[in-house]
Amino acid sequence: MVDLTRREQILWAKKRSENGSQRWLPLITHLIDVQKTINWLFNHWLSGEQSQLISNGFSDEEIQKLVKFIGFSHDIGKATPAFQTKPSYGRERSLDDEIIERLVRNGFAKLDDALFMSASKSPHAEAGEAILEDFGVPISVGAIIGGHHGKPLQDAPRRQLNDYTANYYQSDVDQAVQKRWKQVQTDIFDCGLELSGYESIDQIPSVNQPQAVLLEGLLIMADWLASSEYLNDDESKPLFPLIQMDQSFTDIDMTSRFEHAIETWDLSGEWQPQSVLTENDPYKSRWGFNARPVQSTTTSVIGDTIDPGMVIVEAPMGLGKTEIALVAAEQLAYKKGEDGVFLGLPTQATTNAMFDRVDSWLEKLAEDQVENFSIKLMHGKAQFNKNYQKLPYASNIDDPDDSGKAGSVVVNSWFSGKKSILTKFTVGTIDNLLLMGLKQKHLFLKHLGFSGKVVIIDEVHAYDSYMNQYLYKAINWLGAYHVPTVILSATLPKEKRNLLLIAYLKGKYGKKYKQIFEASTGWQDTQAYPLLSILDGSKLTQVSNFPGQSDQPITQLYVKRLNLDDKTLIQHVLHKISAGGIAGIIVNTVRRAQALARLVPKDTKLMIFHSAFLSPDREKQEEALQNSIGKHGQRPTKMIVIGTQVLEQSLDIDFDVLYTDIAPMDLILQRAGRLHRHDIKRPEALKVPQVYVMGINDFGDYGDANQAIYPKYLLIKTDYFLKSEITLPDDISKLVQEVYDPHTDNQVGDIADAKAEFDNNFETEKHKANAFQIDKPSYGRNATIHGWLNRGQADVDKDEQKANAAVRDIRETLEVILLKHTNKGDFLLDGRHLAKVAPQEIAEQLIKIPSTVTPRIDKAIDALENLTSKYYPQWQESSWLRGALALPLDDNSSARLGEWSLKYTSKFGLSYEKEDENER
């Protein structure tokens, strides 16, 4: 190693004072820590496919050198007087003075008298890029250094050294002083070159943009890991701790320091996917049932691919697409060298339902390999999911007092916050994937996390035109990273299928995809169903022949339009199940669900399912619903289930008869997918599947509420093409294509105005989405990550809710903790006194206030902050409750917020009315 003088060794990277103990970390220590860490992550943590992508165009030796160099040089910008005179975070004067005195004693004369009026103009990440640029490092590599705190610069900082010379060399004019700093920076840079294996700067190569994104993500991860003093703040488990002030770089055994840190941190086993032998039915061995025709054919076709990319499975509801996807994940991971899985779903409810299924599948993989695999449930209420919380922590798995054992599914709590997606196995809401396209600080971590997984997207039809723009951009980048992607849908419009395939091809091959793409004539227009579409390299194969599928049962669905007032409707439902049965009523708004539920007689068993419930109540409802009408549920003799759109997605529940508000064709069919889903005995009057469609006042008139939620154009076409008898699954694709294909408009009649409004809204949504999106991957030689995240949108970097709202285009809503405040004290809504409840349980009492109630969200926040500070000032001292907003209810479980009266019951959820509505 280049002999570093005391001058280089005395430079600091980190310092802190805590409880009277002062500690520091030499800069050279941190640079070597990060270099060793990123090198280890590249060689042992990345999947084989990720390593190959980053290495593309380089020899093994060349990429190893580059990775080490990026790790070492990431903080070279701290070797500047502007940084070295920076005060500590707590502005601990004695610590700062001691550090400066050391620097002065070791050759940095007059540093204690230096003033840097423009120090903030040269933050150390930007300074590092400027220094490397001055040395001649390629711009694409320098940009990685400049962006390692989460956001790259707009352009290369070409004027930094000239405009802010003193920040780099202590003086604008004194060449002797400048020479000292230039020599220090040169020595550290040369040390980095040597430790990385380079003999000269000329050997450092340029990288393309996707490579740079992944390298940036890897650098951020390595920097965060090498900046972790202890594992999850447990001082008995040190990682890269600071040292005592009387210790120096020469007192540290850098090799054992690193080895001990990695051994402590690396808690989970590496998944080594095995070849799926199709001659032995994998469905039988994993789930105990024989593969159905679509399942066996899909598994067989994937097994024959060479370079599988995107797999789209269009098949009926209840056929077992989840099992297809999980077997495909094993196959694709084996073929492509991936070592993780992400499964994305539309809502928190569907994510919770899917989590248990994935957890069981992963448990078998862990047992087979005798390894511990980490899993992450990724949505805003994951910390309240009881099954997820029951999983053992990876850090305790070898503790003899813990219930964990080798061959388990575990939770590694180091992977939290923005690091969550780096967990190898993740189940989450689709927002996590859509956020790949949003310009957001530290986006590189998200790209790094997704690039090493098999990505499964369930219910892909459930995303609107705005969300689709983010979905296509995410697919672009998944293609760029050659990520095998499995898409599942029962009701996919062909145009959307084509756009998904093209988005992947564009990402993987850039503009040349058109020249190399192979497909059968008419691939864009196929309406075959079930349908399997697979991209194998640049070749599209579509399979519609599934031997044995013709022997599968056919369901005849009878559809009737029903235009009744609410009271008469409930009487109709009661009559329909008078001899027993489960009736499902799916409506388009929470208020309508509540209104109908209030009309159900008390002697009739009722369940209500929508988004306006407290988190604990919602979780109980999900469990009760599955226990009652799930696949292995204990079905009651008679029951009515009333809910909103959450009932149409991914929940494996079964109705005997269905009532649904008008909706686009694909969603009506999805809702119908909950009808006669399981092979069970039914009441005589309900043996024939029946769907009653409500909300059709007249052709073209579907009521303001329905037309505010769904485009009138799609409702008109659905109304027109919806037949009185539907054969499942044969009619599914035909009906969906008829509604979504503009070529069928002329069959419907005069819908020009509705179509123009639909097109205008689509373009508006598309433009709005594009305003905050990253660009598509660029493979040009001069393409860097400069400016990659520049945007005008604020607040999405720190606030998860705002980021999720940005990709879903939803009006900003408030999330509050709902409590009861009376003259007897403060209570949870279940009656327990707040003083006897743990802060974590209080934090679970969350509910979203509808945006209708808070048109002036700033005023609502002010009002709720005042209430919270008045009644619950102690919350600011709790890590669970700090920053939370409380909405205290009175003895009647009511409250007033602005012009609105709110009321909560565990039966109906949160209801709201304007004050003048109450008086009527």
Last residue of a domain, one of 740, 773, 791: 740
Q: Which tokens hold the place of 105?
A: 């004693």
Are residues 307 and 235 both part of a single domain? no
Query: Which of 496, 538, 559, 583 lies closest to 696, judged by CA?
Result: 559
CA dist., res. 31 & res. 73, Å (int):
7
Are residues 41 and 164 both part of a single domain? yes
Q: Are 53 and 212 in contact (CB under 8 A)?
A: no
Q: Are 846 and 614 in contact (CB under 8 A)?
A: yes
Distance of CA 249 to the CA centre of its chain: 40
Are residues 710 and 568 both part of a single domain? yes
Give per-residue pLDDT as tens, 395-447.
544 433 344 445 678 788 888 888 999 999 999 989 899 999 989 889 999 99
The pLDDT score that the predictor gives to residue 406 is: 56
The pLDDT score that the predictor gives to residue 96 is: 92
Give per-residue pLDDT as tens, 811-846.
556 889 999 999 999 999 989 999 999 888 898 898
Q: Which tokens hold the place of 710?
A: 């769904």
Last residue of a domain, one of 688, 716, 740: 740
Q: Are 86 and 119 in contact (CB under 8 A)?
A: yes
Q: Are 558 and 728 in contact (CB under 8 A)?
A: no
The pLDDT score that the predictor gives to residue 803 is: 63
The pLDDT score that the predictor gives to residue 398 is: 41
22: CATH: 1.10.3210.30
Under 8 Å CB-to-CB from 244, ≥6 apart: which residues? 22, 23
The pLDDT score that the predictor gives to residue 394 is: 61
Last residue of a domain, one of 546, 579, 607: 546
Q: Hey, is 340 helix, strand or coil?
A: coil
Are residues 542 and 560 both part of a single domain? no
Does residue 791 form part of some domain?
no
H runs (alpha helix) in 41-174: 48-55, 60-73, 81-84, 93-105, 124-135, 139-146, 160-163, 165-169
Are residues 484 and 526 both part of a single domain? yes
Does residue 269 form part of some domain?
no
Does residue 755 form part of some domain?
no
Does residue 487 form part of some domain?
yes
E strands in 304-453: 308-314, 341-345, 373-378, 409-410, 425-429
485-489 and 894-897 as β-strands: parallel, antiparallel, unpaired?
unpaired
Distance of CA 817 to the CA centre of its chain: 24
Does residue 753 form part of some domain?
no
Under 8 Å CB-to-CB from 587, ≥6 apart: which residues? 593, 596, 642, 643, 644, 660, 661, 694
Concatenate the DSSP letters of all residues of 578-606 into one string: TTSEEEEEE-S-HHHHHHHHTTS-TTS-E
Amino acid at 915: E
Are residues 578 and 486 both part of a single domain? no
CA dist., res. 781 & res. 366, Å (int):
43
The pLDDT score that the predictor gives to residue 409 is: 83
**Tally of domains within the chain:** 4
Amino acid at 406: A
Q: Are 583 and 576 in contact (CB under 8 A)?
A: yes
The pLDDT score that the predictor gives to residue 462 is: 65
377: CATH: 3.40.50.300
Are residues 81 and 144 both part of a single domain? yes
Does residue 765 form part of some domain?
no
Q: Which tokens hold the place of 197?
A: 């294996």
H runs (alpha helix) in 481-550: 494-509, 513-516
Does residue 271 form part of some domain?
no
State whether the Cα torsion 157-162-164-167 is positive or negative.
Answer: positive
Are residues 626 and 569 both part of a single domain? yes
Does residue 748 form part of some domain?
no
Range of the domain at 704: 553-740
Are residues 534 and 558 both part of a single domain? no
Q: Which tokens hold the place of 136?
A: 């001649």
Burial class of residue 580 (count of CB atoms within 10 Å of its CB; 0-12, 13-18, 19+): middle
Query: Which of 836, 384, 821, 801 lies closest to 616, judged by CA?
Result: 384
Are residues 700 and 820 both part of a single domain? no
Are residues 531 and 559 both part of a single domain? no
The pLDDT score that the predictor gives to residue 399 is: 39
Are residues 389 and 523 both part of a single domain? yes
What is the mean pLDDT of each successive set of 10 residues along the chain, which is 920 residues long?
85 89 95 98 97 95 98 98 90 90 93 90 97 97 97 95 96 93 97 96 96 98 95 88 95 96 91 89 93 96 97 92 97 97 87 88 92 86 73 54 57 86 94 91 96 94 79 96 96 94 96 94 94 98 92 88 96 97 96 96 94 86 89 92 84 91 94 90 94 96 93 96 93 94 93 94 84 87 88 57 60 81 92 90 87 82 89 86 90 90 93 68
CA-based end-to-end distance of the chain: 84
